[in-house]
Amino acid sequence: MTAATRTALQIRIEAFTFHGDDAPVLRDAALSVTPGSLTAVLGGSGSGKSTLGKLLAGWLRAGHAGQFRGSLELGGTVLEFRGVPEDPRINPAEWSRRVAFVPQDAAAMLSSVRATVAEELAFGLENRATAREDMLRAVERTAARTGLSHLLDRDPATLSGGELRRLAVGCAVIAEPDVLILDEPLASLDAVGAAQVEALVRGLCGAGTGVVLLSQAADRLAGEATRWTVLDAQTAHDGRTVTAAGTVTAAGTPAQLAGSAELERAGVIGIGGPGGIGPNILGSGVAAGARRSGPVPAAVPGPGPASLELRGVGFGYAGDPRRHGTGAQDRVLRDVDFAVRPGEIIAVTGPNGAGKSTLLRHFNGLLRPSAGDVLVCGRSIAGVPVGKVAASVGLLFQHPRDQLFERTVLREAAFGLRQLSGKAGAEGKARAALAAVGLAGTEAAHPAELSASRQRLLALATVLAREPAVLALDEPTVGLDRHGLEALQGAVDRAAARGAAVVMVTHDLDYARRNAHRVLELSGGSLREI
Amino acid sequence: MTPRLHPFTTLTLAVCAAVVTTAAAYWPLSVAVALAAVILAARHGIAGRVLTAGAVILTPLCLSLLVLHGLFFPEGQTVLAQWGPARVTAEGLGFALELGTRTTACVLVFLLFSFTVSVPDLVSALAGRRIPPQFGFVLASTLTLLPAVAGRLDRIRQAQETRGMVGGRGLLSRLGTLRLQMVPLVLALIDDAGSRAQALDARGFGSPGPRTSYREVADPPAQRLFRAAALVFAAAAVAGRIMASWPAGAAS
C-alpha cells in the first residue's frame, strides 16, 4: 500500500453526547482522510460539522467534553471509546501535532498575547521547546506558504479577515500535521481573500497534507474535493422522545452526490456562495442558495420623503478606531450621497475593508459623519441619540455575537420592544419575528448555545421585531445555510412589501444582483451604481 | 531616543522605588516619587491615563484614610476639632498624610510601569527565566484585559442602543444602564475564554516541560548590574529602616 492511499485519520462515531445533554449531537457517522486528499463534509446549520471537526482534532475530548462511543484511528493506532471512565485519553497538544484544526472564528485560534504575526506563528513551537533557529526557519517557511511573509511584523489585531484566516491556518500547519481540518474557511471572505485561502489549501494538499473541509456550501473549493460526506440533522424516535442528531446521510464523489436529494435536504448551498448558480455542480434538482425563481419584486416607491438619505457624508477614523476624526488622508467615506425609498432593496458591495460597515453605522448614528448629514424619514439625525433613531432604523451587525446579550432567545428578541409595543405586544412581536426566521421552538435556549447560523437569524429577528422604516443588514448571508438564506430572503421581501427601505451590505456580488433592486459599489470612499 | 530598557529593569526600578518609599516613611520623599512618576508619564505621553487610573484607585483610598485616621486616631494628642467620639487630631491627619502620599507614590509608580512596559517583552523575559508560562500569560492577559473589556462593553452598548436603549445622563440612569451591560459582559468574557482555552490546549500551552522563546529581548550587562545595585540599595533601605526603629520598638 502506498502512502497516497493509506488512511491518515479515521473516525467512527456511534454517538457523541455533550455533558448535560440528553440526546447525542452526532450519531452513526464515519469519515476517513487520506494523505494529500481534500475531503469535504457538507451540511447545513446545526448538522454537527464543527463538533465532528473538533472531535477529529482532539479539541473536544471524550470524557472531558462529552460522552463518545466509537473509535478514532490515527496513523495505524486505533483508539476505542465506549463512553466509560476507562476510555483512552487524548493529549490535545500531542494530537494537534498530527491533526490540526482551524475554527470558524479564526481569531479564536490566536493566543492574543503575541505582538506580531511571526510570534503568533511561533507560539505553538515555543510551547514545544523548539530551538530558536528551528523556529525562525519554520516561521519563514510557514509564512511563505501562507502568503504572510510581508506581514510578519504586523500586530495580528490589525489583519484583515483573509489575512487573519491565513494566519490561523499558518498557526495550525507550522507543526507540519498530517491532517488539517478547516471549519468554514471561506466564510465572510471577499473574492481575493477566498482565492488566497483556496490556493493555500491546494498547496497543502499537494505537499501531502490531508485536508478536511467543513462547509455548508458546495463551493468551488468543495468542488475540488475527492470525496464528499453529507451530514444532516436527522430526527429519531427512542420510544418516548424525538431527538435530532447529525448523521451521515450520503457519501461519495462530488459527481455521485451532485443533485442528490440528501444534499438538498441538508440545506447545502450551491457553488459560488449564497447568490451563486447551482446546477453546474449540484445538478438541476438542487436549488442553489437563495436563487430566485423570478426577479426581485419591483419596488413601489412609497409616498413622502426617502426613508433614508445621506447628503455629502464624509468620515475618517483618526488614531483610535472607536473615535471619529477628520484626517483627510484616511477618509473612509467621501462625499457620499444616496437615498433609499420605502419598499426599495439596495445592496452595497465592495472588498473587505472598503468601509461598508462604517457606512451602515452612520444610518442610526453609531458613527457620526465628519461632513454632511444623515436623514431618516426626512429628518436629520444629527444630535439625536442612537436609542431614539433605533425606532426607525434597525441594524443587523456583521458579527451576530456583538448583537446578542440576553439570557434567552425570547428575551433577546423582546429587548427594547416594550417602549414600542407595550408589555403584552412585545412578547407577541418577538415570537412572530422568531417564527419568521424559523426559530420558533428555541425561545428558551441561550443565544450562545445556538449555531453560528442561527445566531445570525436570531440577530435578524431582533431587528425585524421592531418593524423599522429602514432595515440595514451587514453581511446578512454569511454563515447561513440554504434554509437560513430562504428565511432571510423571505423576511427581507416581507419587510420591503410593508414599506421598509432595505440596505444590505455584502461582499457577494451575485447575491446582491439577485436580491436587490439596485447594487452600489463602495470603493475609494465613494458609492457608484454598478 | 533613549535606549530601550529591559522589562526587568523597569520592574526592578518600580519595585525599588516602592520599597524605598515605604521604608523611608517620609512624606516629602513620597511626594517627590509621585511627582517623578507623573513627570515620567508626561514624557511618555501617558500622563492622562496614569492620572485617571490613579484617581480611580486613590480617591476612595485616600478618602477612607482621611476618615479612618483623621477622625479616629487613638494616639492623637493635639485635638483640632471634636464631634462626639470623632476627634480630628493633628497626629491623625499627619498619619493619614504619611500613609496617603506613600500609597499614592507606590500606585503611580506601578501604573507608570504597567502602562509603559512592553507586554510581549515582559512575557518573553519571564518565559526565559523558567517562570511558568501560565504566569506570564495571566500577567499579559491582565494587562491587556482592560482594553478588551472596554471594547466588549462598547459593543454591547452599541447593540443595546441599536435596539432602542437611550442612556440617560443622571447617575441612577447610568447605573441602570451599567447593570444591563454587566451580565452580558461577564457571559461574553467567559464564553471567549472557553473557546480560547481549547485553542491554547491544542497549541501545547497547557503541557508541562520547558519552553523556548521566539522573541529575543536584549538584556545588556549594564542593566543587569544596575538591577543588582538597585536591589541592594532597596534591601539596604529596608535594613536601615528596621535598625532605626528596632531600639524604639524594643524600648516601648
| B201–A92 C-beta distance less than 8 A | yes
Q: Which of A286-295, B129-138, B156-165 is predicted with the least confidence, judged by mean pLDDT? A: A286-295
A125/B207 touch (CB, cutoff 8 Å), yes or no: no
Question: Taking CB atoms and an 8 Å limit, are A93 and B201 in contact across chains?
Answer: yes
Among the residues of chain B, which ranges form H helices? 7-24, 27-43, 47-65, 90-116, 119-128, 133-162, 171-202, 221-251
* Residue from B166, B207, B214 to probe the interface with A (highest A Cβ count within 10 Å): B214
Q: How far is A155 from chain B (nearest CA, A)?
A: 11
How close is the nearest chain B Cα to the Cα of A277, in Å? 35
The larger pLDDT score, comparing residue A341 to residue B181, is at A341
Length of chain A: 530
A179-193, A432-446, B95-109, B118-132, range with the lowest pLDDT: B118-132
Three cell numbers written together for A179: 491532517
Mean pLDDT (whole number) for B93-118: 90
Residue A123: partners with Cβ closer than 8 Å, 6 or more residues away: A111, A114, A171, B203, B205, B214
Could you give the CA distance from residue B237 to residue B115 in angstroms, rounded to a whole number? Answer: 27
Q: What is the CA A343 to chain-centroid distance, rounded?
A: 28
Nearest residue on chain B to A96, alpha-carbon basis? B202
**In this complex, is the C-beta atom of A68 within 8 Å of any C-beta atom belonging to chain B?**
no
Contacts of A405 in chain B (CB under 8 A): 156, 159-160, 181, 183-184, 187-188
A53–B contact, CB cutoff 8 A? no
Residue A34 near residue A9 (C-beta atoms within 8 A): no
Interface membership of B167 toward A (CB under 8 Å): yes
Chain A interface mutation, best of B162, B189, B198, highest count of A Cβ atoms under 10 Å: B162
The pLDDT, as a whole number, for residue A520 is: 94
B166, B191, B215: residue with CB nearest A119: B215
DSSP category for residue A410 = H
B134: distance to nearest CA of chain A, Å? 11
Closest-CA distance of chain A to residue B162, Å: 5
Alpha-carbon span A488 to A108, nearest angstrom:
27
A405 touches chain B (CB under 8 A): yes
Q: Does B177 touch chain A (CB under 8 A)?
A: no
Q: How far is B40 from chain A (nearest CA, A)?
A: 23
Decide if B183 touches A, using CB distance below 8 A. Answer: yes
Per-residue pLDDT of chain A (530 residues; tens, 9 = 90+): 444 456 789 999 999 998 888 888 999 999 999 999 999 999 988 888 999 999 999 888 888 888 999 999 998 889 999 988 888 988 888 898 899 999 988 888 888 778 899 999 999 998 888 999 999 999 999 999 888 899 999 888 888 777 888 899 999 989 889 999 999 998 877 788 788 889 989 999 999 999 999 998 898 899 999 999 999 887 665 555 556 788 898 899 999 988 888 888 888 887 544 444 333 343 333 334 444 555 566 655 556 688 999 999 999 876 544 344 444 446 889 889 989 999 999 999 987 778 888 899 999 999 999 999 999 999 999 989 898 899 899 999 888 877 888 889 999 998 888 777 777 788 899 999 999 898 888 888 888 888 888 899 999 999 999 889 999 999 898 888 888 888 899 999 999 998 999 999 988 888 888 889 999 999 888 888 88
Give contacts of A127 with chain B, Cβ < 8 Å: 133, 203-205, 207, 211
Size of interface A-B (CB pairs under 8 A): 158
Residue of A nearest to B181 (CA): A405
What is the reported pLDDT for A355?
86
State the SS3 of A92-135.
HHHHHHHEEEECCCHHHHCCCCCCCHHHHHHHHHHHCCCCHHHH
Long-range residue pairs from A451-455, CB within 8 A, at least 24 positions apart, any chain: A451/A45, A451/A46, A451/A50, A452/A45, A452/A104, A452/A184, A452/A400, A452/A479, A453/A44, A453/A45, A453/A46, A453/A216, A453/A479, A453/A480, A453/A481, A453/A484, A454/A45, A454/A46, A454/A484, A455/A400, A455/A401, A455/A404
Q: Evaluate whether A70 touches A11 at the Cβ level (below 8 Å).
A: yes
ipTM: 0.76
pLDDT of residue B136: 76
Distance from CA of A260 to the nearest CA of B (A): 35
Q: Do B162 and A394 touch (CB under 8 A)?
A: yes
Q: Is the pLDDT of residue B145 over 90?
A: no
B212 backbone dihedrals φ, ψ, rounded to 5° = -120, 170
Q: Which structural domains are found in chain A, ordered by start? A: 9-282 (3.40.50.300), 308-529 (3.40.50.300)
Out of A95, A122, A386, closest to residue B214 by CB? A122
Q: How far apart are CA A103 and CA A164, in angstroms?
A: 12
Chain A nearest CA to B225, separation (Å): 27
The pair phi, psi for residue A218, each rounded to 5°, is: -85, 70
Q: What average pLDDT does range B35-52 have in this prediction?
A: 91
- Predicted confidence at residue B174, as pLDDT, reads 76
Minimum distance, in Å, between the CA of residue A128 and any CA atom of chain B: 6
Euclidean distance between CA atoms A24 and B97, whole angstroms: 65
Grid coordinates 500551552 are at which residue?
B205
State whether B211 and A129 contact (CB < 8 Å): yes
* Integer Cα distance of A331 and A136 in angstroms: 38
Q: What pLDDT score was predicted for residue A327?
A: 44
The residue that leads in pLDDT, A211 or B135, is: A211
* Segment 189-248 of chain B within 8 Å of chain A by CB: 191-192, 195-196, 198-207, 209-216
SS3 letters across A153-186: CCCHHHCCHHHHHHHHHHHHHCCCCCEEEEECCC
Report how far residue B46's alpha carbon sits from residue A125's, in angstroms, rounded to the nearest whole number. 35
Cell representation of residue A23: 440526546
SS3 B100: helix
